[in-house]
Structure 1
Amino acid sequence: MRIYVGNLPYSVTDDDLRNLFSEYGALSSAEVIKDKFSGQSKGFGFVDMPNQSEAENAIKELHDSPLQGRKMTVNEARPRADRPPRRF
């Protein structure tokens, strides 16, 4: 299951996410999304957990819990909506 993790402090790293979620089960991946030009965190990320029940437990336990002074938003990731191509 792919999990969305939002409202992250900009200082959170991939390893921080991995360590936090690994307490709830096995992970396939953990990634903080960064701006492609500046490399600055965008304040959200994704965690992939292969076991459905472990993922659901992690969501239940971590949603609205504090991480470095901010309450995280944790839920099942939804597919990104189709967007029209950008024009420059």
Structure 2
Amino acid sequence: VGNLSWNTTDDILMQAFSNYGQVLDCIVMKDRETGRSRGFGFVTYGAQPEADAAITGLNDQDLDGRRIRVNMANSKPAGGAGGFGGG
């Protein structure tokens, strides 16, 4: 979930997304040093149809005064291509 208001909390995110299915996990990412929202978060559902419904229902909608972007998170490929040269 992107373009979150700085004021959006985990609870606000949970409330909005629980209308579309059972939310297993919900977190607004925060800056380590300041504790302030970084403007995006993640919501996890147990079933794909619930996630699809949330994307359809909430993408480009108003939440906490901001038009949020909702899409599937891109998982990082396994294997640790960490950018360090080997050899």
TM category (shorter chain) comes to 0.7 to 0.9
- Aligned pair 1:6/2:6, yes or no? no
CA RMSD of aligned residues (A): 1.5
The TM-score, its normalising length taken from structure 2, stands at 0.85
- Aligned pair 1:18/2:43, yes or no? no
The TM-score, its normalising length taken from structure 1, stands at 0.84
Asked which structure has the greater CA Rg, the reply is: 2
What is the total number of aligned residue pairs between the two structures? Answer: 81
Using CA pairs under 8 Å that are at least 6 residues apart, name the structure with larger relative contact order, 1 or 2. Answer: 1
Q: Could you list the structure 1 runs, at least 4 aligned residues long, displaced by more than 6 angstroms after superposition.
A: none
Q: Which residue of 1 aligns with 2:27?
A: 31
- 5+ residue gaps, structure 2, are none
- 5+ residue gaps, structure 1, are none
- Counterpart CA distance in 2 for 1:11 and 1:80 is 28
- Cα 1:80–1:37, aligned 2, differ >3 Å: closer, same or farther? farther
Deviations 1:15-64 (A, max 9, x none): 00100000111011100000011100000000000111011011011000
| Higher-strand-fraction structure | 1
